[in-house]
Amino acid sequence: MTTFEIRSPDGRTVRTGSMSGAGTLTVRPSAEAGVLRYDVVADGPVTLRWTWPADDAVTLWRAAQDSHRQLPTDWGSHRSVRSVRSAPVAALVDARSCSLSTISLSTNVRGCDFAVGVNEETAEQLIELTVTDVEDGRFTLRIDLRAEHFSEALRGVTADWTAELGDRIAPVPAVAREAMYSTWYSDHQHVSAASVERHARAGTAYGTKAVIVDDGWQTDDTRRGYAYCGDWEPTGATFPDIAEHVRRVHELGQRYVLWLAPPLIGVHSKAWPTMKDRILGFADADVTAVLDPRYPEVREHLLEACVRPVRDWGVDGLKIDFIDSWAQVSPPAGPGMDCESVDEGVERLLQSITDELRALRPDVLIEFRQDYVHPRLWQFGTFLRAGDCALDPVENRVRTVDCRLLAGDRAVHSDMLVWHRSASVENVAQQFIGALFSTAQVSMELDELSAEHQQVVRHWLGFMKDHADALLHGVLLPSRPDARYTQVRTVGAGKTVVAVFTDPVVRVEDACTVVVNGGAERRLYVEGAAGGRVELVVSDCSGHEVHRAATTPPEVWVIDVPVGGVARIVRT
């Protein structure tokens, strides 16, 4: 067993950690006070273990779509992290949104058990990290003990990951940050060439730049299952000439992104007889299985399935789905396999796919979905969509912000926006406000919207485009992760955008502050605007101006902003 020291920046708190297993640990000198790094050479699985006081902690921020906003117990905190699911990072956060301790592992780690939880015997946090799959047998443990905003601590993690991956990171095409249309909630598996072209035409009128054709193009079976998937060929009934269809969509000014689920193969597919003995097991009763990517012939089959749409049909990119189906314990490698772990097989597959696609289209679009947030996937994907949360703007807010905090420079998209046709205009606006700090995907029959809903959609898509520099590229500062982000602020060059949810007190610091009312009350409280003249412009949820004034605000300035509306405060 190897021991190592963890010391707080002020030197008042010191703990001794241990590493068990076959390997060596070396302390790496750090130029950043309070950021500790330990380099590990592992010859097999190793476990790193230590305790740390966190008396002020109120939540543990974790990279998981289903992350509960709580402090888990040590025995209930174990989380399997794989290169296709979650990421090796966690942050203990206090009620001021300050990181007390942010722990992460380097991008070399493909698989580990990551546990941070309350130890009932000591009333401290017990950290236990068991690393089982490492590229080249080397990795780094990073512990950030600086008292800073938790988002800044996570930016430090992603900066390290970015430096480690270097030019292996996939470039992000500019169009990946433009609003897109998705067929999933509007069509589900009833999608057709005619419906896609209708959506593309309508989307162009609203300013969307791509249409994402989801599940259904490859099957006539519309029962939401996957028993017929695996061949990845268009169904002749609804897509009789897919190459000509893609050409027509391009003529409408839209990029074309096509959904595939490479891990899955159905028993009714043509490929099943040749692939049925190369599976990891069944995912859906006894009709859908998960292919084992450790077999070269499996990867060859899937490579052709993923390249064909771009090479032969003119598609601009792929939505590669269900890759977390591969996040399972690897059975021992058998005859015919050329790698030990499933994760390595997946990465070989994804690398071959992206190499081929980029040779065909340097600006190819590759969508992954939360919980595929591991930094190793930065090598392959160009944009990341929040996990499914239909009709739920709060969950969309949490998921998009969580993804942004860990995405580095990846483009982050909302889950597809959908609402009931009879919804109030305020409700429609809230769907967009929940997705404000991401790129919007819309999945409504845009041609059938009421005039009032059309106005709201046009306003918010325009607002998100007009403020994209701040919303997508500014410094993101979300408040209170324990309370599902009561307020989210992003600071750009000379402009701050603040979305208010359950915290109505807004601090004005920049020359221009744009306040979005994503809460349920009209009354907001502004601090920091006193001491000079300001111009206030207030609009409602549809973008119509309802108030304009030039004034000298008091120390605490109460302003009236309609629900779903916007207040623009400019110092004059």
**What is the pTM for the complete model shown?**
0.97
Residues 478-528 pLDDT 10s:
999 999 999 999 999 989 999 999 999 999 999 999 999 999 999 999 999
In this structure, the number of other CB atoms found within 10 A of the CB of residue 491 comes to 17
Q: Is the per-residue pLDDT at 67 higher than 70?
A: no
Q: Around 246, how many Cα atoms within 13 Å sit in the side-chain half-sphere?
A: 20
Structural contact between residues 533 and 506, judged by C-beta atoms closer than 8 angstroms: no
Predicted local distance difference test score (pLDDT) of residue 17: 97
Contacts of 98 (CB under 8 A, 6+ apart): 147, 148, 149, 150
Q: Is the per-residue pLDDT at 382 higher than 90?
A: yes
CA distance 125 to 134: 26
Binning pLDDT at 50, 70 and 90, where does residue 563 land? very high
Mean pLDDT of the chain: 96
Structural contact between residues 564 and 521, judged by C-beta atoms closer than 8 angstroms: no
The token duo for 563 is 């629900």
CATH of 175-261+296-466, one of 1.10.3720.10, 3.40.50.720, 3.20.20.70, 3.30.420.40: 3.20.20.70
Residues 153-190 pLDDT 10s:
999 999 999 999 999 999 999 999 999 999 999 999 99
Domain boundaries, the chain: 2-168, 175-261+296-466, 475-571
Residues 266-308 pLDDT 10s:
999 999 999 999 999 998 888 999 999 999 999 999 999 999 9
Predicted local distance difference test score (pLDDT) of residue 461: 98
Residues 464-478 pLDDT 10s:
999 999 999 999 999
Predicted local distance difference test score (pLDDT) of residue 168: 97
Residues 190-220 pLDDT 10s:
999 999 999 999 999 999 999 999 999 999 8
Predicted local distance difference test score (pLDDT) of residue 217: 97
Instruction: Please list the alpha-helical segments (H only) found in 314-446.
Output: 342-360, 393-406, 425-434
Structural contact between residues 104 and 153, judged by C-beta atoms closer than 8 angstroms: no
Predicted local distance difference test score (pLDDT) of residue 114: 97
How much is the average pLDDT of 24-41? 93
